[in-house]
A = this chain, B = another copy of it.
Amino acid sequence: MNIKQTVIDNQLQELFKKGSFGIEKEGLRTTGQGNLALSLHPSSFGSRKHHPYIQTDFSESQLELVTPPQNTLKEQYKWLEALHDVVNRTIDPEEFVWPFSMPSRLPDEKDIPIIKVDDRKEIEYREQLAEKYGKKKQMISGVHYNFSFSYDFIDELASIAETPEKLTSWSNDLYLKMSRNYLRYQWLLTYLFGASPVSDDTFSSEDSRQYYRSIRNSPLGYHNSFSNKVSYQGIEEYARDIEHLVEEGTLIEEREYYGSARLRGKGKAVRNLISNGTRYVEFRSFDLNPFSRLGFSYEQSLFTHLFLMTMVWMDKESTTEDIRTGAEMNEHTALEDPFEFSRFKEEGQFLLNMMKETLNALHLSSEYDAVLETAHMLLDNPEQTLSARIVKELENGRSFIDYGIKLGQQYKEVSFEKPFLVKGFTEMEMSTQLLLFDALKLGIETELLDSHDQFLKLTYGDKTEYVRNGNMTSKDTYISHWIMANKTVTKKILKTYGYRVPHGEEFASIEDAMNAYSLFDRKAIVVKPKSTNYGLGISIFKHPASYEAYSEAVRLAFEEDGQILVEDYIEGTEYRFVVIDDNVEAVLLRQPANVVGDGRQTIEQLIKKKNTHPYRGIKHRAPLEKIKMGELERLMLKEQGYTFDSIPAEGERVLLRENSNISTGGDSIDMTDDMDESYKKLAVEMAKALEVKVTGLDLIIPDITRPSTEDKPGYVVIEANFNPAMHMHAFVQKGKGRNLTRKVIDMLFPSIDLS
């Protein structure tokens, strides 16, 4: 088949330019001193047996991050970002991930730890590799770029091909052509992206002061040179040649075939490609880019995608001879001095022009244009290439190890700047980010079914669970949501079971509510809409409301809902109890926005200082909100005889708001361990009465030190909230943070294997 012609004839350009993208990125855990970490792979990553995202490669210290295939490069990078946050926040605080392909300071060959797993065969295989190549060479890390065209494109090909056999043959043709031309032209990627000019002395005893473009891509690096023994001219030849290398003992197993382009299909055996076709190709020649926090920049990924499309779009069909030439050119490029022009500059320009043609033919976005421009510039300016830039840094007298420590630690710190967010997924709600974090860490296969809707699909072993908004799951019933959404129904049920709820009346019209004023004119009351979940439209009267004030409160509440409640106001402190799977997992006290004086600073200064806390942000992008200095705060101060310029006495607490919402600058104080057990027991029982597994119960308790008893109940329950916020318990102003998302995972997957 002629793929280009097929695409044009069938107007498939839009589908052709889509793809499915995955990245595998290796990196060595390294101590603060730059030594290879000899510690075990962290057990908090769960079992390596299933972990789809965080693996170890040859060595116990060699992390391998694997992004699941994504439909866009943007998505691919979201995953890579997130996995870095997970790894950085989970590994030993004394360690970081080495940013170079060439290893950090290695111990003696014998002390380099091979992967520690239960599987004897797996260990034997690594031991054989160690013997064959030497352990040190196995420690060289890199990036694998997994690419396929989109499912939609393949679907269209299927409908054109008509028979499954033809589709299989077409997909093999397509990816073989891509691979052949890649092998012919990969030297350009090595020129542009080569980033292993140098190694530490512990890696190699030769103390040559020679610099290279890419040790890793050169014979000095770790690669087997069996590529030339494998034909890419047809799928049967490809499979037969790899099988032959295993039979004759050149390769231990098929997977030892480390050609720069590896065709992957269904199942592990290479033979399956013949019957089922190629699903994607793994391109393996990329060095870690130390200037990118993620080891491979988004721009590199864009360039590679365009490069791969061009390898298919071009008319050229590389022969076996061409491929051999390509291997030589790549090796030559790898060994070039970083500051030299490429020996193949002219072909490079020709290639870039061909990429430009692809770009134009497919109407690719301007992002692709930009990376092409950069590549042109780099061909003309070798001193700007990655390898040259590294060398320049080292020529300033800094050692390779010191430079790696600096970069690696700096990259790690980025993951701690906002520990309540997961980079890549910061557009999602915080609770969903935290759940995602835990899922990725534990190796639960995670699919973002709909990130706008906070919709995750979690799979562990055979079991799949769907989660929305962090804790809406299959463990709760459909009706439980609506029970909690309706405050009247919640109260009726709790009351039926004998729990104390505030006495109240429901009204469906302003008129009815106003006619009932005489029921409330001598009481402290709360007027609130029946079904909103966010504290809107609520008025509290701690002293009986005048007719006018009541009328205004009724009007406000009806703005939020078609029905309102007028309830007795209950004196006491409100606590949020979060019940998950029949346990109280957190108790939180929320306090109105406030500052505490020190006798020196003004209120404004105190607010500004308090607002520097890393947990404080704006517009719900942080667990706590910054205290505002607006009209409401000014009035609140005025009532207390203050202005923003007043200087409160040492230890004096000045309130800036009356309401205790976190969203208006309030404080969160974890009280889980301080709460009397009797109240926790009640909260669990109430959740059971409502038949819910996840709920946020708001209890008014005048004195938490006095246990609640049947005769003298010490509480009134005012609300049961569905989908309670979880992040506010994880990152608190005061007290111990509570990881509630992990409890949700434990509820969904009780048999999860942390061994």
Contacts and interface: CB of A to CB of B under 8 A. Distances in A.
Interface stretch (A100-108, A254-262, A478-486): A478-486
Interface string A432-458: 000000000000000001101101000
A489 B453 contact: yes
A473 B468 contact: no
Q: Pick from A474, A475, A562 the residue with the most CB of B within 10 Å.
A: A474
A692 to B, nearest CB: 9
A468 B479 contact: yes
Given A468-B479, A477-B478, A478-B474, A489 B455 contact: yes
A559 interface: no
B473 A478 contact: yes
A562 B503 CA distance: 40
A343 to B, nearest CB: 42
B482 A477 contact: no
Contacts of A452: 508, 562-563
A117 interface: no
Contacts of A474: 477-480, 691
Nearest to A693: B478
B503 A482 contact: no
A701 interface: no
A519 interface: yes
Contacts of A480: 474, 478
Interface string A145-168: 000000010010000000000000
A449 B479 CA distance: 13
A347 interface: no
Counted per complex, copies of this chain come to 2
A488 B482 CA distance: 23
A447 to B, nearest CB: 8
A344 interface: no
A397 B74 CA distance: 92
Interface string A709-738: 000000000000000000000000000000
A455 B488 CA distance: 10
Interface string A455-474: 10000000001111000111
B472 A14 contact: no
A613 interface: no
Contacts of A155: 503
Instruction: Give the 3 A-B CB pairs with smallest separation, nearest first.
Output: A476-B478, A474-B477, A468-B482
29 contacts: A152-B503, A155-B503, A449-B486, A449-B489, A449-B492, A450-B486, A450-B489, A452-B562, A452-B563, A453-B482, A453-B486, A455-B486, A466-B482, A466-B483, A466-B489, A467-B479, A468-B482, A472-B479, A472-B482, A473-B477, A474-B477, A474-B478, A475-B477, A475-B478, A476-B478, A476-B479, A477-B478, A478-B478, A478-B480
